[in-house]
Structure 1
C-alpha cells in the first residue's frame, strides 16, 4: 500500500519524465523522417523547366515559352509548352540525364510524353541509378510536330509520409 502512494515520488518521478521524453522524441522523429525540404523541390522544378528550355532550343524554337511546371502528385511533375514542337527522343533522354544528374534525389525516374488532351503515351523511357536497368526505346526517330506535355515521375525515397501514421500509431504500445 505504501508503494502505491509513493508512485510519483523518489525514483518514479524520473521514470515518468523518461516516458514523457520518449513520447516527445517519437513524435519528433515521426515528423522529421523522409522530409524533402522546399529548397530541394524548388531546385527540382527549375531543373525541369531547364529540360523544357533545352528541348525547345534543340527543336529550333528560341521564342516560345515553357509553361509553368505542374506538380501532379507527390513525386510527379508535368512540363508543357506554349506552342507545338517536334523532338528527337535522343535529345530528350540526353537532356534529362544530364540535368537530373544535378538532383541528388532523382536517381530513378520515368518520363512519358503525351499529346496535349490525349491520354496515350507517345514516347516514354525509364532511367535507373543502375544503368543496366534503363529502359530506352525508339531512339533516332523524330517525333512529329505536336502539342506535347512531358510527365516525369520520380521513384519515392525510402520514407513515405504515410509512415508518420505508423510511428504515431505505434506510440500507444
Structure 2
C-alpha cells in the first residue's frame, strides 16, 4: 500500500511538470507567433510612395520626384517632395483610401499635410475601418501651391493584440489543468 502511494505521488509530480511545461509552451508560442511583418511594412512604404506620385500627377507635375519615404515613428511615415505642389483635399482622401485599402495592416490611420517651413498642419483627416468614424473636412477647397510634407500615422494592430489574446487564452487552460491536478490529489 505504501509503495502504491509513493508511485501515485511520483506520477503527480510528472503530471504537474507536464502541465507547467505545456503552460510555458503556450505562452512562448503566443509571443513567437507575433513575428515580424517586414514584407507588409515594405509594401506599405511602396504604397505611400505611390500616394506621393499620384499627388504630384494631380498637381500637374510629372517630372519632379517623390523623395524617399521616412519612417519617423513606429507606425508613422513622412512623404516629402522635391518641388512645391498644390493638392485638392478630395483627391488626396480618395487616393489614400484607394491605395491603402491594399495594405492589410492599414485599417485606421490619420493623414496630416504639413507646411515645410514651420510643420504646421495645412490639412488633415482620419480614416477608420468603420467609415462612420471617419473625420474628413474641408472637401472641395484647393490648397495653394507650396512646400508640403505628408505624415501618415497608422493605428497599431495585430501583434500586441495577438500576444495578449494568446496569453489570456492560455490562463483558463492552465486553471483547468491546475484544478484537475488538485482533484486527483
For structure 2, list consecutive stretches of 5 or more residues without a partner in the other structure: 172-185
Q: Which residue of 2 aligns with 1:38?
A: 38
Q: Which residue of 2 aligns with 1:19?
A: 20
CA RMSD of aligned residues (A): 2.8
Q: Which residue of 2 aligns with 1:151?
A: 151
Q: Which residue of 1 aligns with 2:113?
A: 113
CA distance in 1, matches of 2:106, 2:123: 20
Matched residue of 1:125: which SS?
strand
Q: 1:14 to 1:89 in 2, by over 3 A?
A: same
More strand by share: 1
Bigger mean CA offset, 113-122 vs 48-57: 113-122
CA distance in 1, matches of 2:22, 2:66: 50
Matched residue of 1:20: which SS?
helix
State the structure with more CA Rg: 2
Q: Which residue of 2 aligns with 1:73?
A: 73
Could you state the TM-score of these two structures normalised by the residue count of structure 1? 0.82
Give the Å deviation of 1:141.
Answer: 1.3
Q: Which residue of 1 aligns with 2:177?
A: none
The total of aligned residue pairs comes to: 166
Give the Å deviation of 1:69.
Answer: 0.9
Q: Which residue of 2 aligns with 1:137?
A: 137
Where does 1:92-111 land on structure 2 (aligned, <5 Å)? 92-111=92-111
CA distance in 2, matches of 1:15, 1:43: 46
Give the Å deviation of 1:20.
Answer: 2.3
